[in-house]
């Protein structure tokens, strides 16, 4: 079906607005200093162990928890001045908790199995996205109006990780109100990519992806309503998993989802090593873990694999970088050689409507007729909604409390239709039906995460809809694991998404573990 004249005008109008916002930023925005500082290579071997391995060594008293936590504190203090990923630390408290872990291990020496069952993440350093409540830490999501707010409790998923023995080191930067591709705000500043500090880290869990990619943490927690786990994982060369919806609790985040968005928001694990994904998901899911059958072995040779190289040519989304197409092609060839299978190359035409579907469903009412909060309401933080056009004027003279990206999103919201068209709803239904039938209970789909490798700072203002490659799977409710698969010619991470049917998370994670072995997984940015 061809676009109508009005729809074409809207598309070009939105593109024009994006270019206008970028031009305004170039005229009035801050200037970055010349020269690109580089991270130092990892020197402490403790930083090169997975969370699973660290917990085992701590239980066996092969290394003290104090040594592990101090190693990560030293690394954060070394790299954070360059990347600005961790915005508030709790190092003294973390060291006290590490000392308690060491005492516990001494008292229960010889009872390793019991410790593993009760505290599977005992002593493992953890970083937390600042949008999650972590007792004693700020929870602003980059809003100046929330400056000074300190939480008194833990978000549900954070509490589960702590209960399993993980030790939080601090909280990490986000985009303003967690709704943009770049983790930058007036409260904490901009977070820089560890592989090249002139590049973005993604959003909204960008600080989380960055501190992990920098080897400043080994496991972390993020949230994802349009790619906010997977995009930072991609740009920072790590693993990130968006679970099947309804499995990991979302309570304790700011902003909280409203309306039908509750069905699309997912809390999930982020980490440098694929073997940590399964354990983290089991812990974070709590009693819901049994719904995923995570204990069942996965024989990759018995799975059916599919590969889709691009979205088919959406008018809203950039063409995909040839380096990403080649990387996915190499992954396909490696899977075929390793597993002695045939990966089916398929085309799914409905994917080119991904942005329209995501945008339409994000504004839908829930089953009880409740509408989601508007972005201007979220920016007002329970106060009066902001007026975005006035904020844009204020921004040009350095008087706005909001970033240009947030203001631009609020303006774009004004152009959004109140009701999704029947055409968009039909494409969503067709896509749901096709993927459910294709994937079944043993199918895995390979699909790009984003059309480009990590863009330079502020460049997403040119292409605000490129997140559609990830956002569509929030709407479809499918579990997805983002996997690093090497480096580009520029030394930046390459990656792809691994998708399965609902409640088949174990298939995507098992595939991620194999791809880590096949392609090398995370690479030390200081050694690139």
Active-site residue numbers? 129, 204, 228
Give just the sign of the alpha carbon dihedral 60, 62, 65, 71.
negative
- Determine the Cα–Cα distance for residues 486 and 394; give it in Å rounded to an integer: 43
Question: Would you list the DSSP string of 331-389?
Answer: HHHHHHHHHT--PEE---GGGGGHHHHHHHHHT---TTSPPPPPHHHHHHTSSPPP-HH
Let me know: does 174 contact 211? Beta carbons within 8 Å.
no
Angle formed by the axes of helices 422-439 and 354-362, nearest 10°: 110
Q: How many CB atoms lie within 10 A of CB 478?
A: 25
Residue showing tokens 């993440």: 121
SS3 107: helix
Q: Are 161 and 221 in contact (CB under 8 A)?
A: yes
Residue whose C-alpha is closest to residue 1's, from 400, 363, 424: 424
Sheet holding 480-487, edge to edge: 86-89, 167-172, 125-129, 219-224, 266-271, 239-242, 480-487, 493-499, 443-447, 304-307, 344-345
> Using CA atoms, how far apart are residues 417 and 421, in angstroms rounded to an integer?
9
Q: Give SS3 for 426.
A: helix
Largest distance between two CA atoms of the chain: 74
């Amino acid at each position: 079906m061809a676009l109508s004249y009005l729809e074409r005008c809207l598309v070009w109008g939105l593109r024009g607005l994006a270019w206008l916002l970028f031009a305004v930023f170039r005229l009035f925005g801050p200037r970055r200093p010349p020269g690109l500082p580089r991270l130092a290579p990892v020197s402490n071997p403790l930083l090169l162990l997975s969370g699973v391995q660290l917990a085992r060594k701590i239980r066996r008293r092969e290394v003290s928890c104090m040594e592990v936590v101090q190693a990560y504190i030293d690394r954060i203090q070394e790299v954070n001045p360059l990347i600005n990923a961790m915005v508030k630390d709790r190092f003294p408290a973390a060291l006290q908790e590490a000392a308690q872990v060491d005492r516990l291990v001494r008292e229960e020496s010889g009872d390793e199995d019991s410790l593993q069952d009760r505290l599977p993440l005992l002593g493992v350093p953890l970083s937390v996205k600042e949008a999650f409540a972590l007792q004693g830490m700020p929870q602003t999501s980059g809003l100046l109006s929330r400056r000074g707010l300190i939480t008194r409790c833990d978000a549900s998923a954070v509490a589960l990780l702590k209960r399993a023995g993980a030790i939080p080191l601090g909280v990490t930067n986000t985009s303003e109100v967690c709704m943009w591709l770049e983790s930058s705000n007036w409260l904490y500043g901009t977070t820089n990519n560890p592989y090249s500090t002139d590049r973005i880290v993604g959003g909204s869990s960008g600080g989380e992806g960055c501190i992990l990619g920098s080897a400043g943490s080994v496991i972390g927690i993020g949230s994802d309503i349009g790619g906010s786990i997977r995009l930072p994982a991609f740009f920072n060369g790590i693993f990130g998993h968006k679970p099947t919806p309804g499995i990991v609790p979302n309570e304790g985040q700011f902003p909280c989802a409203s309306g039908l968005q509750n069905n699309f928001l997912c809390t999930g694990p982020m980490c440098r090593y694929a073997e940590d994904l399964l354990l983290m998901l089991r812990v974070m899911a709590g009693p819901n873990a049994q719904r995923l059958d995570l204990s069942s072995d996965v024989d990759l040779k018995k799975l059916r694999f599919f590969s889709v190289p691009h979205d088919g040519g959406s008018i809203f989304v950039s063409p995909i970088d040839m380096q990403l197409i080649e990387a996915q092609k190499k992954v396909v060839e490696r899977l075929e050689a390793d597993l002695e299978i045939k990966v089916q190359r398929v085309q799914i035409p409905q994917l080119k409507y991904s942005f329209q579907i995501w945008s339409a469903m994000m504004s839908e009412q829930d089953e009880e007729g409740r509408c989601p909060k508007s972005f201007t309401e979220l920016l007002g933080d329970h106060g009066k909604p902001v007026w975005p056009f006035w904020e844009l004027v204020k921004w040009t003279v350095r008087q706005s409390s909001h970033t240009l990206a947030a203001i631009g999103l609020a303006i774009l919201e004004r152009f959004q239709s109140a009701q999704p068209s029947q055409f968009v709803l039909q494409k969503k239904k067709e896509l749901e039906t096709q993927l459910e039938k294709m994937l079944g209970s043993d199918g895995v789909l390979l699909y790009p995460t984003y059309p480009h490798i990590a863009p330079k700072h502020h460049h997403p203002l040119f292409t605000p809809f490129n997140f559609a490659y990830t956002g569509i799977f929030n709407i479809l409710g499918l579990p997805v694991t983002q996997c690093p698969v090497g480096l580009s010619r520029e030394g930046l991470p390459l990656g792809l998404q691994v998708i399965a049917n609902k409640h088949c998370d174990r298939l995507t994670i098992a595939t991620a573990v194999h791809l880590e072995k096949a392609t090398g997984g995370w690479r030390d940015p200081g050694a690139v």
